[in-house]
Amino acid sequence: MSSKYTHEKIRQSIQGNMRRYEATALSMAISFELEDFIKERGIKKQELAEAAGIPPSYLSQVFSGDRLINISMLAGISQKYKVRFSFDIQDAKADKIREFAAESWRKPYEKKAMIYDFRSFSKRHDNGYPQRVMGGDCGNQA
């Protein structure tokens, strides 16, 4: 490639801000889950903003990646819609970018936020599911 910039050098330039970029990625992952959630439930963005305790314009900025989501917003949503949020912690080997990308493509939900629905949990529990406090399959809509 005849370029004056190598990707290795560009990666070096973003090293100092990796925490910020990871935060953007995490926030986007959560907002994608929220978008799916409101689509499934037929909830308007304005209602979600109200539940989260923020103005609708702020929520739009969160969905477009301009602002980061915060825990108190999730707490408000959790309270209003009786859902529980859960997060997976996975080992991401950043030095093996290619393998990581391929691996995560096969398992796309691994590092995403999940929304647990109490109603579907209790429904499944009532139908004879073994009692569990928390688990990967307890009502995860994904």
Partner 1 sequence: MENIVCLDDLLQDVNHLRSSRQQVLIYVREKIHDEFIDFLGGKGINSRYAPGNVEYRFDKFLAIAAVIYRNTYCAHRYRLENSDPVVTAMKFMDKGRNDRVYCREMTTVGGKVVILCEIHKKKNNENKKKEKNIIKKVAEYEFKIHS
Q: Nearest CA to 28 among 77, 67, 79?
A: 67
Q: Considering CB under 8 A, how many residues would be counted as binding partner 1? A: 40
* 106 to 22, 99, 103: CA distances (angstroms): 21, 11, 5
- Which helix (H) or strand (E) element contains residue 37? helix 18-41
Shortest CB 71 distance to partner 1, Å? 20
Shortest CB 34 distance to partner 1, Å? 13
**C-beta separation of 61 from 67 below 8 A:** yes
Residue with tokens 């408000």: 76
86 in helix, strand or coil?
strand
Q: Which of 29, 38, 43, 75 binds partner 1 (CB under 8 A)?
A: 29
Which amino acid is present at 118? F
Identify which of residues 44 and 119 has a Cβ nearer to partner 1 in the complex.
Answer: 44
Identify which of residues 65 and 132 has a Cβ nearer to partner 1 in the complex.
Answer: 65
Shortest CB 55 distance to partner 1, Å? 16
Site for partner 1 in 46-105 (CB under 8 A): 60, 63-66, 92, 94, 97-98, 100-101, 104-105
Name the burial class of residue 57, with classes exposed (0-12), middle (13-18) and buried (19+) by CB atoms within 10 angstroms of its CB: exposed
Shortest CB 124 distance to partner 1, Å? 23
* 140 to 47, 83, 94: CA distances (angstroms): 22, 11, 27
Contact status: 39 vs partner 1 (CB under 8 A): no
Residues that bind partner 1 (CB under 8 A): 1-5, 7, 9-11, 13-14, 16-18, 20-22, 24-25, 28-29, 32, 60, 63-66, 92, 94, 97-98, 100-101, 104-105, 108-112
